[in-house]
Amino acid sequence: MAERLRPGRTDLRPARLDLAMSSAMRAPVNDSAPPGTGPTGPPPRRRFAFARRLLGPVVAPVANYARRYLQATVEHELRETRSHLNVLTGELHVAQARLGQTQDMLQAVLQTMQTMSAQLAHIQTRGDQAHGQLAAIPAMFGPRFDELEIKQRPLIQYDAESTAIRMRDGYVMAPTALPTFVTMLANATSKGLEPGTTDVLRRLVQPGMVVADVGANIGLLTLVMAWAAGPGGKVIAFEPEAVPRSNLEKMKHLNGLSWVEVRDQAVGEKAGQLTFHVSDIIGHSSLYALPENEGSREIQVEVVPLDDVAPAKRMDVVKIDVEGAELDVLAGMTGVIAKNPDLAIVAEFGPEHLKRVGQTPAQWFKAFADAGFKAYMIDEATGAAEPTNAKAAAKVVSANIAFARAGGDAEKRLLGR
């Protein structure tokens, strides 16, 4: 062949030559022409037949070769395409595998981050707790330092009859002639002999309130309530016994409590003059007869109902410590109870005192309940107030009971809400 066949060509000369020769050999031969006619010799049909016989063996292999070559080229390209496709498929599988690994790695990273986040949150929480604990240190030690500072102060001989003892809210006066009582106060905490009740009264009494301290004695709780009410409030302190009342007056003036009014009266159900039994033990005196084994003397005192002496506008808190005469005080303050729907009462409860005056714990609690009050026992160690009743309270020797109307503001203050 004159030139080398190249893949992809469609104008191959052998193919056209084969086609032409095939056409020439298939052309009809005119046998009707006279022999020897024609410009160059034998008739066309015979010439083509001759050419076909002469050239066919040469052209046919060339055409066959060309067809095989073209076919081989296409198959080669198909094989290469398949090879490329297989390579691409393999690469795709590899990419998918890597993508799966990447997803697994991302998932592992995400889990690690979540774990670290949880650990950081835990660390943060512990840090906050530690910070809170550190912040609580001053609050924890501050009161203790204050307590130490207060209690290390020496007793002061105020005058010939009284010894001044420093408490949290100021100085109280104790009769020097009663060294046991002085020692008790000196050894008590700065909150006094009834620290839980002190805390409760601080919660109940708010600035500007009007308070009655029935059976004030030397004024340990009068002092607390006076500073809680403040100069804008008022405290009426009732104490019929001369010696405690004298120390109460001194306490008032020494601490500058001008809004405290001291009255030399007992409080009861009806107005009048009654016998008051003065005990040799300070704080045990009562309108009712004392036990025979407890030394006492009798004096005459003026008794007033709280309704007759309470301010007309308001009364917020009444503290009662009258050694068994609590229900007499309650009976004489029905008007105060009616006019002050948010009134709170703190009363001493002593089963032995009630037995002495002929009452039962059930009668005592019922009287307060009938007046609309709910009872709470005060924990002197913690200042907490828990609901109580006659059956539960009868087990104690003595306790202070707080009374408030259910759902009122006084109850919320009592419970620290």
Prediction pTM value: 0.67
CB 203 within 8 A of CB 181: no
Residue 148 domain-assigned (yes or no): no
| Residue 167's CATH number | 3.40.50.150
Residue 123, pLDDT score: 81
Is beta strand 317-320 parallel, antiparallel or unpaired with respect to 344-349? parallel
Shared domain for 72 and 170, answered yes or no, is no
- Mark whether 158 and 107 lie in a shared domain: no
* 170-175, strands of its sheet edge to edge: 156-157, 162-167, 170-175
> Looking at the domain assignment, is residue 110 inside a domain?
yes
**Average confidence (pLDDT) over 134-142:** 62
269 and 347 assigned to the same domain: yes
- Answer yes or no: do 186 and 304 share one domain: yes
Residues 365/389, Cβ–Cβ less than 8 Å: yes
Mean pLDDT for 352-366 is: 95
Query: What pLDDT is stored for residue 142 in this prediction?
Result: 60
Sheet (strand 296-304) strand order = 266-267, 296-304, 272-279
- 233 and 270 within one domain: yes
Is the pLDDT score of 13 beyond 50?
no
- Residues 373, 246, single domain; the answer is yes
| Residue 114 pLDDT grade (very low, low, confident, very high; cuts 50, 70, 90) | confident
274 and 327 housed in the same domain: yes
Q: Which residues contact 260 (CB under 8 A, 6 or more apart)?
A: 222, 226, 234, 235, 237, 252
Same domain, 48 and 186: no
pLDDT confidence tier of residue 27, bands split at 50, 70 and 90? very low
User: CB–CB of 379/196 below 8 Å?
Assistant: yes
Q: What is the mean pLDDT of residues 209-234?
A: 98
Q: What's the pLDDT score for residue 31?
A: 47
Cα(92)–Cα(157) distance, integer angstroms: 102
Within this chain, do residues 285 and 178 fall inside the same structural domain, yes or no?
yes
Closest CA to 400 of 344, 355, 339, 356: 344
CA angle 319, 324, 326 (to 5 degrees): 40
Q: Are residues 53 and 193 in the same domain?
A: no
Look up the domain containing 57 and give its range: 13-125
110 vs 414: which has the higher pLDDT: 414
Number of domains in the chain: 2
Q: Is residue 170 part of a domain?
A: yes
CA–CA separation, 301 and 319 (whole Å): 20
Quick one: pLDDT at residue 54?
66
In this structure, are residues 217 and 321 in contact, taking their beta carbons and an 8 Å threshold?
yes
290 has a pLDDT exceeding 60? yes
Could you tell me which of 340, 382, 337, 377 has the C-alpha nearest to residue 361?
A: 377
Domain termination residue (choose one: 107, 125, 143): 125
Are 252 and 332 found together in one domain?
A: yes
Secondary structure of 230-248 in the HEC alphabet? CCCCEEEEECCCHHHHHHH
Q: What confidence category does residue 398 fall into, taking pLDDT thresholds of 50, 70 and 90?
A: very high
